[in-house]
Structure 1
Amino acid sequence: MKFVRYGAEGAEKPGMIDASGQLRDLSGHIADLSGATLDPSRLAEIGEIDASSLPKVDGMPRLGPCVAGTGKFICIGLNYSDHAAETGATVPPEPIIFMKATSAICGPNDNLVIPRGSEKTDWEVELGVVIGKTAKYVSEDEAMDYVAGYCTIHDVSERAFQAEHSGQWTKGKSADTFGPTGPWLVTRDEVADPQNLGMWLTVNGEKMQNGSTRTMVYGVKFLVSYLSRFMSLRPGDIISTGTPPGVGLGMKPQRFLKPGDVVELGVEGLGTQKQTCVADT
């Protein structure tokens, strides 16, 4: 099943994509895609609704983030062996964990706002994992029971803020619009193997990233289990699992985003995003 949230920012409604690709309104059945609604058993119940009985949503409404009420936006750094190599970094012996402010979350096709003073705004296509029920001290064998589904994430990064201003990475990851999420929340049952998904990103039509989750160092099962040792994972929390090679930081010469650039990206089976870069005012 593919679930969406659509409408004006702050007033999104829940929706479902039917077999023909038509957007259907779910607001008569649930208030939003958040909290208890994300429990895998609840999502399965919603999926049993006859999509043809739901109202059609005409036109091309704005799509919001596919999950509401995210409490934690957890990111994994240097989690692709080939990406670590392009940056000259060593694959870490345990996952690198950092937080992205939830205020960075935006719709998949909203403008990407380059913050004031930025000279090194960079792109990163990532697989997002959405938690569906509270996980604490869970084993790898049971980890997937706590996953509601998957989505495409753009982990936008300001490299100077991240690495040249001392301290931790969070300040280079958390500007407004630095977390486009969606378009769809795709339920776990529709993704046969999250460790075998193609992923890509272009800037102004030029292919920059063309990778696969096959090269992830730490896979989804491990990450859910590992993170649950250090913090409770709650419904709506998002794990952004790292990026393949092809980021601007790793290019020679380095290349970064500027106002007017158009970024498009996608993860196999999880939908695509498109953002136009604009300067903050």
Structure 2
Amino acid sequence: MRFATYTAEGETFYGAVTDTGMIALNDACPQWATLYDVIAAGALTELEKLAADKPVSHTDFIYEMVLPNAPRILCVGVNFPDRNAEYKDGSAQPKYMSLFPRFASGFTGHGQNLVRPPENYTLDYEGEVAIVIGKGGRRISQDDAYDHIAALTLSNEGTIRDWVRHAKFNVTQGKNWDKSGAIGPWLVPFTDAKQLDDARILTRVNGEIRQDDVLSRMMFPIRREIEYISTFMTLQPGDIIITGTPTGAGARFDPPRYLKPGDVVEVEVEGIGTLRNGVEDEVTS
């Protein structure tokens, strides 16, 4: 089953996704105000049971960022060998992973447009798998890491490339423009290692495959990411880890192929789904 945050009739809901529409579950679960609260309570299984016998509530709706009130989003950078080679600095695999924070305001939902700001045109795409922590912990071992995942989703970790160069050791500015990326369309409960091991990730721009790789080639596998991150911070239910993007982002073409209004970006992983977004210029007053 799949779970999403969405708006319909001027209100925000969370619920189960079906082939014919959304089953709203807010009223059935007043103890959980948002999908984030469901995750924090470890209640995705209960949501599945509640949705099993309910009719579709909405057929006309808009997907929102799947956990719009997620307080902590961590991204793993340069996590595929070909991606590392793109930097052409002769470096081997680093000993430790690169990490940076993103904020929920930088993401929109499936079907909505990524926003290119007027300050800079270098909006780029990065297709990635994102995991949502369901069970908190500190110093989690790799053997136990998957036990701490509640759900999977997808991310287009959109970046304003010129703004990641504004400081010597800092990419935060280029990674947090409002609605420059997307997370969704929905959460898929994590039940089996096969959902991640050897999963293939594809990113298309206007139907053209730009990124194509398998998660087993990650320099820092997801088990290691959870182990490493939980060494210095206590992971909490609802934390999102965006796990790394393959080679093929627009900045690495010659000349670069940045996103422009009218483009359509799709991030696809079998068993999770397809995250699709258009692109528009920000409207300023």
TM-score, normalized by the shorter chain, greater than 0.5: yes
Q: Secondary structure at the match of 2:147?
A: helix
Alignment partner, residue 105 of structure 2 = 103
- Alpha-carbon distance in structure 1 between the residues aligned to 2:254 and 2:9: 38
Render the CA deviation track for 1:142-161: whole Å, top value 9, x for unaligned.
Answer: 22222111101110011110
Alignment partner, residue 276 of structure 2 = 274
Q: CA RMSD in A?
A: 2.2
Asked if structure 1 preserves the Cα contact closer than 8 Å seen for 2:128 and 2:245, the reply is yes
Report 1:125-164 matches (<5 A): 125-164=127-166
Alignment partner, residue 173 of structure 2 = 171
Greater displacement, 219-228 / 85-94: 85-94
Report 1:64-213 matches (<5 A): 64-88=64-88, 90=91, 91-189=93-191, 192-213=194-215
- Alpha-carbon distance in structure 2 between the residues aligned to 1:92 and 1:186: 31
Render the CA deviation track for 1:31-54: whole Å, top value 9, x for unaligned.
Answer: 32113x215852223223352x21
- Alpha-carbon distance in structure 2 between the residues aligned to 1:22 and 1:8: 11
Alignment partner, residue 242 of structure 1 = 244
Q: Secondary structure at the match of 2:143?
A: helix
Q: Secondary structure at the match of 2:47?
A: helix
Q: Secondary structure at the match of 2:86?
A: helix
- Alpha-carbon distance in structure 2 between the residues aligned to 1:86 and 1:10: 45
Greater displacement, 183-192 / 229-238: 183-192
Alignment partner, residue 29 of structure 1 = 28
- Alpha-carbon distance in structure 2 between the residues aligned to 1:212 and 1:57: 37
Seen in structure 2, the aligned counterparts of structure 1 residues 72 and 41 have a Cα distance that, compared at 3 Å, is closer
Greater displacement, 160-169 / 68-77: 160-169
- Alpha-carbon distance in structure 1 between the residues aligned to 2:208 and 2:87: 20
Q: Secondary structure at the match of 2:185?
A: coil
- Alpha-carbon distance in structure 2 between the residues aligned to 1:262 and 1:9: 26
Alignment partner, residue 38 of structure 1 = 39
Asked if structure 2 preserves the Cα contact closer than 8 Å seen for 1:195 and 1:216, the reply is no
Instruction: Give aligned-pair identity as a percent.
Output: 32
Render the CA deviation track for 1:8-50: whole Å, top value 9, x for unaligned.
Answer: 59942111135x5653222233332113x21585222322335
- Alpha-carbon distance in structure 2 between the residues aligned to 1:107 and 1:260: 17
Asked if structure 2 preserves the Cα contact closer than 8 Å seen for 1:15 and 1:25, the reply is yes
- Alpha-carbon distance in structure 1 between the residues aligned to 2:40 and 2:102: 23
Q: Secondary structure at the match of 1:108?
A: coil
- Alpha-carbon distance in structure 1 between the residues aligned to 2:246 and 2:42: 32
TM superposition shift of 1:209: 1.3
TM superposition shift of 1:68: 4.0
Q: Secondary structure at the match of 1:48?
A: helix
- Alpha-carbon distance in structure 1 between the residues aligned to 2:108 and 2:148: 24
Asked if structure 1 preserves the Cα contact closer than 8 Å seen for 2:22 and 2:59, the reply is no
TM superposition shift of 1:5: 1.2
Asked if structure 2 preserves the Cα contact closer than 8 Å seen for 1:121 and 1:257, the reply is yes
Q: Secondary structure at the match of 2:191?
A: helix
Greater displacement, 126-135 / 189-198: 189-198
Report 1:9-20 matches (<5 A): 11-18=11-18
How many residues align? The count is 278
Q: Secondary structure at the match of 1:136?
A: coil
Seen in structure 2, the aligned counterparts of structure 1 residues 87 and 265 have a Cα distance that, compared at 3 Å, is same
Greater displacement, 157-166 / 178-187: 157-166
Greater displacement, 103-112 / 60-69: 60-69
- Alpha-carbon distance in structure 2 between the residues aligned to 1:245 and 1:39: 34
Alignment partner, residue 48 of structure 1 = 49
Q: TM-score scaled by structure 2? A: 0.89
Seen in structure 2, the aligned counterparts of structure 1 residues 127 and 45 have a Cα distance that, compared at 3 Å, is same
